[in-house]
Structure 1
Amino acid sequence: MLAAGERGMGWLTTEVALTQETSDETLLARVAARDEAAFDVLVARHQGRAYRLAWSLLRDAEDARDLSQEAFLRVYRTAASFRGEAKFSTWFYRILVNLCLDHRRRGRWWQRFTVRDEGEDPERGGLLERQPGATADPADLLGRERLMAQVWREVERLSPQQRAALLLHVQEDLATSEIAQVLACSEATVRVHLHRAVSALRKTMGRGQSDAS
């Protein structure tokens, strides 16, 4: 079996029989001992949500694949540093979100801004990703697409921390305490980020509905 760092993209789609009774934290302890079977289970269990979150933050399929893969590689390399002070998922999200924030600081975020990349549908995404059904009235569909474009432009204007807090809350359904651990800030700061982000989006939604009327 190849080492995790040598597998390339193929290891992300390895089919592994999942076990409900084995916790993420137990699996991670085995990964720290270089148990590759345990690592495969963790990847299979979390790769879908990891890619979806990275895609929602980056809006680029290739970058989302690269960074979600890098996040799992960092889990493999640093598993021994996990102290059990938070859930595995919270610890992992912190790795992934930090990679995405660093990626943005390098100036590569959202080089191709669209409402949704053609052909991309990462499990229908979260609340911000949902699109009208195929049977919608064409005029209504166009209006909603324009509104979603306005919403995403507003999301793009949010600070990186506000954007991350919003997506972790509405898409990954994390509590404010968990988001605080991911972003390494207080719960009060998370609530401020969420309040400002939601207020900005509500203003955009209001403008969009007024324009459509």
Structure 2
Amino acid sequence: MKPTPDASDQVLLQGILGGDLDAFEALVRRHQGMVYRFLFHYLGNATDAEDITQETFLLVHRKAALHNPALSFRAWLMTIARNLAVSHRRKSVPRPLDPAVLAGAIRDVSPAPEREVLLREDATQVHACLARLPEMHREILVMRYLLDLPLHEVAELLNIPEGTAKSRLFKARAELRDLLEPLLSVAGPATSSAA
């Protein structure tokens, strides 16, 4: 039976448990973009992101019965994706993150005057700053600003209280700003006005 486009994730999961491949396909279509974007920004590599996205949905299919219907499906799905990405990172040789992704992350978390300077900076310098952030800080910046997830969902995905997520986000932004400070001072007062 073809699931309706407005079927809830829980209804689709029930269909998957009943062997309905259409329900699985509908669930994948609904969430694969979000999962891929997260993994791409987290891993910094399109090929790895595609592979882990597929692994994520295969695991969802195999473990559908384990989902607790009282909890958010999206949070459960993203937790699976995150855990697979962490495991993949541990096993693999580190690859540099895509400089375009990193530049986008900084543009999203920097105040407006800094944006102009950063747009002119060499992508390798930007990459170096973000690569120096602790993984938990880079991760929270990606979730909040690149995936545009609300803070309460970020907290749920990281399995931490919302107050802790706020604190980590504040620290991550501050640390990124501190790392960017030398770049901003080298660029000079290009955005200041002569009064």
Instruction: Sort the TM-score into its range (normalised by shorter chain).
Output: 0.7 to 0.9
Q: Is the 8 A contact 1:97 1:164 kept in 2?
A: no
- Distance 1:200-1:129 versus aligned 2 partners, 3 A rule: closer
Which runs of structure 2 are paired with 1:1-213 in the superposition (5 Å)? 19=5, 21-109=6-94, 111-116=95-100, 127-128=104-105, 144=119, 146=121, 148-213=123-188
* Aligned-residue identity in percent: 31
- Distance 1:40-1:127 versus aligned 2 partners, 3 A rule: same
Deviates more, 1:60-69 or 1:191-200: 191-200
TM-score, structure 2 as length reference: 0.78
Instruction: For 2:39 and 2:79, locate their aligned partners in 1 and report how far apart those are by CA, in whole Å.
Output: 12
Q: Which runs of 5+ in 1 are unaligned?
A: 1-15, 118-124, 131-140
Richer in helix (by share): 2
Report Cα offsets for 1:150-177 as digits up to 9, x if no partner. Answer: 3432322222222222211112222332
Tell me the secondary structure at the aligned position of residue 100 of structure 2. coil
- Distance 1:211-1:188 versus aligned 2 partners, 3 A rule: same
Instruction: For 2:4 and 2:176, locate their aligned partners in 1 and report how far apart those are by CA, in whole Å.
Output: 39
Q: Is the 8 A contact 2:43 2:97 kept in 1?
A: no
- Distance 1:173-1:112 versus aligned 2 partners, 3 A rule: closer
Aligned-residue Cα RMSD (Å) equals 3.1
- Distance 1:155-1:38 versus aligned 2 partners, 3 A rule: same
Tell me the secondary structure at the aligned position of residue 116 of structure 1. helix
Q: Is the 8 A contact 1:115 1:152 kept in 2?
A: yes
**Alpha-carbon shift at residue 33 of structure 1 (Å):** 2.0
- Distance 1:106-1:77 versus aligned 2 partners, 3 A rule: same
Deviates more, 1:156-165 or 1:47-56: 156-165
- Distance 1:74-1:207 versus aligned 2 partners, 3 A rule: same
TM-score, structure 1 as length reference: 0.72
Q: Is the 8 A contact 2:75 2:156 kept in 1?
A: yes
Deviates more, 1:160-169 or 1:90-99: 160-169
> Partner letter of residue 199 of structure 1?
A
